[in-house]
Amino acid sequence: MLQKEKLQEFYRSEYARSAKHRLNPSRKTNGYEQQILKLCKRIKREKKGRVNIGYLVYYHREINHLLLIATTKQNQKMIGLVYDEVLPCLMELDISMLSRPDKEELDEEFIQYAVSQQPKKICNKTLLELVMIYKDQRIRKKVAELVPSRPEMEFPESLEMKRKFILHIGPTNSGKTYHALERLKSARDGVYLGPLRLLALEVYEKMMEYGTPCTMLTGQECIEEPDSRVVASTIEMLDIDKFYDIAVIDEAQMITDTDRGHSWTRAILGIKAKEIHICMSPTAEAVVTHLIELCHDTWESNHYERKTPLVCERSAFIFPNDVKPGDALIVFSKKSVLDIAGRLEARGISSSVIYGSLPPEIRRKQMQLFNEGTNQVVVSTDAIGMGLNLPVQRIVFIETEKFDGIQQRKLVVSEIKQIAGRAGRFGVYDTGFVNAMGAEELGYIKSLYQAEEQPIEKVSLGFPQVLLNLPEPLDTILKTWHSVEAPAPFEKISIDEILYLYEKAEKNSARIDGFEDKHILYRMVTCPIDIKNPRVISLWLRYCETYTADRSLMKPNINQIRFDGIGKYETYYKQLELYYQFSERFGKEIDGQWLAKERERTELAIMKCLAKGKMEYISTCRYCGKRLPVGYGFNVCRQCRG
């Protein structure tokens, strides 16, 4: 920190520069001497570190105004009082509001910046505000120096390869992924990259059927085959440093997703493969070809048409009277999925359920029951639209609104097409059908399911980890990087969840070994967990605090979850996943046998809950217990609401 004499000289010179302005003749100057004297007493009475920030801003501006009057009047006595008594006290109050790291910013470089880039701003802003502006600008400059202005420049080796892209473009049920996989099975060293563990498993099984040795690698597990020629994995698991001869990137329209889309961007810009097949909907064609052109690579397009017609039915669906085998009933929350499944069970109709928080292996088993005909229908959220291959003849939208994390809104064209397109699987049905519950809802679906989708205009851009070498705190680096606008068509990922976990860790930083190491901390806060589940968050925090204590992490204990039902087992399964992922990230020993046994036991418990007893999840009035209508938006019936 600067000597106080130099800082005081900065205050004097800046206020003197401001006082050279001409006073507005219309401004009243009567009683200014008394105002200066009162202000001097008031500032001296303020306690350091406890002054209200609003008052502090007021003091700066009022002193600036009164000094201007005194200078205009050439009142040397008042000018001297301001310089010799008022400003030193103001400076001390300013300093008292700074944290220790902020005080260290007060050096010659800061003074030069404030004088040249923020002239006279100390006359109407606090020192804290100026320090924050200075830190932000300095980090922005470092970010600009470390991160290339063009994202493709982060992958110089890929830029030199002259890669060839083959684009497979078409709607759902068009066979685009099939053609890409036909080429992949001939690879000597290939990779499949998709959005779901279930899709990676499906590709793994297909490759093995083709006689192509394949390894499956996801965030949850690794199934390794000897002499493997292909790796089937979720897209986040891409080894960016490895060279491949053939790569397949599936569901590339997800490149616009604010949470995960950056993994598709990274794969397209950075994968080291001679031949790259990208499967996507037509909406992503323009933006994906733009990325390829940025890399100066070559590409060719293959367009596919839907293999079975998709027909929107004329009469609105009536639940449960119109339920038929082969139906997929679509809602947009776990609660609604279980509610509908319970109502079907009450009528003797067996159903498979699919929703986001359901463990991948359970989803697969639920799909299997439907594929085999054991269960007659599927009740699902929009998770069904993510490339899951099911013999569905008809998609029925029980709901046409969803909560997107910010607000409850109507489905958009792309969402309707992605979900509705799952109807009429080729090779099983000649035609697919779409319907909705209620005439108004059917009219809405009918108006959009064949509408033209708007092309994707934004692609998600991930955080460059080279910035972890900066000396500033991780949250400051993240916020500054995110505030710098990326060049079109790039849009930076959401950092809300990362910052949420950072805040949790920061509150317990004294107990976290390595908190000051941003590389370690970044691995902690980017661990993919359900931040809405307090028991998962609690275990994550415990791992952050104890990961250096032993060669292995403490195992989750289901008996510590003090509630029953399917939610208990889903929470425990998420804790098991956290145990595996955190151990992998920090090189801890994993008890594989115990983990496999616990996963299997938990999966059986969840399957048991889903096999029978779904009726307990039917929505009922919280007061009288009366069963509520399907899609009813309240937890109290009309009669009890009065």
The per-residue pLDDT for range 141-160, each reduced to its tens digit, is: 888 888 888 899 999 999 99
Question: Domain of 202?
Answer: 151-303
Q: Please check whether residue 419 lies inside any domain of the structure.
A: yes
Mean pLDDT, residues 46-66 taken together = 92
Residue-wise pLDDT tens digits, 297-329: 999 999 999 999 999 999 999 999 999 999 999
Q: Please check whether residue 295 lies inside any domain of the structure.
A: yes
Residues 518, 527: Cα–Cα separation, whole Å: 14
Q: What is the pTM of this model?
A: 0.83
Q: Are residues 9 and 120 in the same domain?
A: yes
Distance of CA 180 to the CA centre of its chain: 29
Q: Are residues 257 and 295 in the same domain?
A: yes
∠420-635-575 over CA atoms, to 5°? 70
Residues 251, 247: Cα–Cα separation, whole Å: 13
Per-residue pLDDT at 231 exceeds 70: yes
Q: What is the DSSP letter of 161?
A: S
Is the Cα torsion angle 268, 274, 278, 284 positive or negative in sign? positive
- What pLDDT, on the 0 to 100 scale, is given for residue 62? 94
Backbone angles phi, psi at 101, to 5 degrees: -60, -35
Whether residue 534 is preceded by a cis peptide bond, meaning omega within 30 degrees of 0, is no
Distances, alpha carbon 330 to alpha carbons 157, 318, 383, 424, in Å: 45, 14, 10, 15
Residue-wise pLDDT tens digits, 94-120: 999 999 889 989 999 999 999 999 999
Q: Record the tokens describing residue 430, joined without a space.
A: 């000649």
Q: Are residues 321 and 436 in the same domain?
A: yes
Q: Please check whether residue 630 lies inside any domain of the structure.
A: no
Residue-wise pLDDT tens digits, 586-619: 999 999 999 999 999 999 999 998 887 788 899 9
Quickly tell me which residue has 């088993």 as its tokens. Answer: 365
64-84 burial, b at 16+ Cβ within 10 Å, e below that, comes to bbbbbbbbbeebeebbebbbe
Is the Cα torsion angle 493, 494, 495, 498 positive or negative in sign? negative
Q: Are residues 524 and 399 in the same domain?
A: no
Q: Are residues 280 and 158 in the same domain?
A: yes
Q: Are residues 156 and 296 in the same domain?
A: yes
Residues 603, 331: Cα–Cα separation, whole Å: 23
Residue 638 burial (CB count, 10 A): 12
Distance of CA 299 to the CA centre of its chain: 30
- What pLDDT, on the 0 to 100 scale, is given for residue 257? 92
> Of 450, 480, 500, which residue is a domain's last?
450
Backbone angles phi, psi at 395, to 5 degrees: -100, 125
Quickly tell me which residue has 């996507």 as its tokens. Answer: 280
CA proximity to 255, closest of 167, 124, 144, 164: 167
Q: Are residues 409 and 440 in the same domain?
A: yes
Is the Cα torsion angle 369, 370, 371, 372 positive or negative in sign? positive
Q: Give strand ranges (E) for 181-318.
A: 190-194, 214-217, 222-223, 230-234, 243-249, 272-280, 298-303, 310-312
CA proximity to 297, closest of 175, 169, 164: 164
Q: Please check whether residue 620 lies inside any domain of the structure.
A: no
Choose between 352 and 144: higher pLDDT: 352
- What pLDDT, on the 0 to 100 scale, is given for residue 63? 95
Quickly tell me which residue has 């609660």 as its tokens. Answer: 335
Residues 356, 352: Cα–Cα separation, whole Å: 14
Per-residue pLDDT at 279 exceeds 80: yes
Residue 47 burial (CB count, 10 A): 8
Residues 610, 615: Cα–Cα separation, whole Å: 10
Q: Record the tokens describing residue 399, joined without a space.
A: 């709901």
Q: Record the tokens describing residue 314, joined without a space.
A: 């004329």
∠336-338-344 over CA atoms, to 5°? 105
Q: Are residues 211 and 342 in the same domain?
A: no
Mean pLDDT, residues 38-50 taken together = 92
Backbone angles phi, psi at 206, to 5 degrees: -65, -45
Q: Give strand ranges (E) for 222-271.
A: 222-223, 230-234, 243-249
Q: Are residues 589 and 492 in the same domain?
A: yes
Per-residue pLDDT at 26 exceeds 70: no
Backbone angles phi, psi at 370, to 5 degrees: -75, -45
Q: Could you tell me if 433 and 393 are in contact, meaning their C-beta atoms sit under 8 angstroms apart? A: yes
Question: Across the strands, what pairs with 380?
Answer: 330, 354
Q: Please check whether residue 458 lies inside any domain of the structure.
A: no
Given pLDDT bands bounded at 50, 70 and 90, which one contains residue 131?
A: very high
Q: Please check whether residue 375 lies inside any domain of the structure.
A: yes
Residues 61, 81: Cα–Cα separation, whole Å: 17
Residue-wise pLDDT tens digits, 427-447: 899 999 999 999 999 999 999
> Of 279, 303, 327, which residue is a domain's last?
303
Given pLDDT bands bounded at 50, 70 and 90, which one contains residue 405?
A: confident
Per-residue pLDDT at 354 exceeds 80: yes
Per-residue pLDDT at 240 exceeds 70: yes
Mean pLDDT, residues 252-277 taken together = 96
- What pLDDT, on the 0 to 100 scale, is given for residue 389? 81
- What pLDDT, on the 0 to 100 scale, is given for residue 341? 95
CA proximity to 83, closest of 58, 64, 102: 64
Q: Could you tell me if 317 and 437 are in contact, meaning their C-beta atoms sit under 8 angstroms apart? A: yes
| DSSP H/E element including 237 | none
Mean pLDDT, residues 491-505 taken together = 96
- What pLDDT, on the 0 to 100 scale, is given for residue 25? 67
- What pLDDT, on the 0 to 100 scale, is given for residue 383? 87
Residues 498, 524: Cα–Cα separation, whole Å: 9
Residues 93, 127: Cα–Cα separation, whole Å: 9
Average pLDDT, the chain: 93
Q: Are residues 293 and 209 in the same domain?
A: yes
Distance of CA 428 to the CA centre of its chain: 37
Mean pLDDT, residues 37-63 taken together = 93
CA proximity to 590, closest of 580, 582, 598: 580
Given pLDDT bands bounded at 50, 70 and 90, which one contains residue 631?
A: confident
CA proximity to 151, closest of 532, 492, 456: 492
Q: Could you tell me if 304 and 170 are in contact, meaning their C-beta atoms sit under 8 angstroms apart? A: yes
Residues 535, 529: Cα–Cα separation, whole Å: 11
Q: Could you tell me if 420 and 395 are in contact, meaning their C-beta atoms sit under 8 angstroms apart? A: yes
Q: Please check whether residue 627 lies inside any domain of the structure.
A: no
* Interacting residues of 305 by C-beta distance below 8 A, sequence separation 6+: 170, 171, 174
Residues 558, 575: Cα–Cα separation, whole Å: 9
Mean pLDDT, residues 241-264 taken together = 95
Distances, alpha carbon 33 to alpha carbons 77, 81, 89, 434, in Å: 10, 10, 18, 81
> Of 108, 130, 146, which residue is a domain's last?
146
Backbone angles phi, psi at 556, to 5 degrees: -60, 155
> What stretches of 188-247 show up as alpha helix (H) in DSSP?
197-210
Per-residue pLDDT at 362 exceeds 70: yes
- What pLDDT, on the 0 to 100 scale, is given for residue 28? 72
Q: Are residues 489 and 562 in the same domain?
A: yes
CATH number where 410 lies: 3.40.50.300
Instruction: Say how many domains are in the chain.
Output: 4
Q: Are residues 284 and 323 in the same domain?
A: no
Choose between 565 and 90: higher pLDDT: 90
Residue 401 one-letter amino acid = E
User: Residue 340: helix, strand or coil by DSSP?
Assistant: helix
Residues 544, 511: Cα–Cα separation, whole Å: 9
Residue-wise pLDDT tens digits, 407-426: 899 999 999 999 999 999 98
- Concatenate the DSSP letters of all residues of 122-145 into one string: GGTS-HHHHHHHHHHHHHHHHHHH
Choose between 221 and 91: higher pLDDT: 91
Q: Could you tell me if 177 and 302 are in contact, meaning their C-beta atoms sit under 8 angstroms apart? A: no
Residue-wise pLDDT tens digits, 455-484: 999 999 999 999 999 989 999 999 999 998
Q: Could you tell me if 191 and 273 are in contact, meaning their C-beta atoms sit under 8 angstroms apart? A: yes
Residue 580 burial (CB count, 10 A): 19
Q: Please check whether residue 221 lies inside any domain of the structure.
A: yes
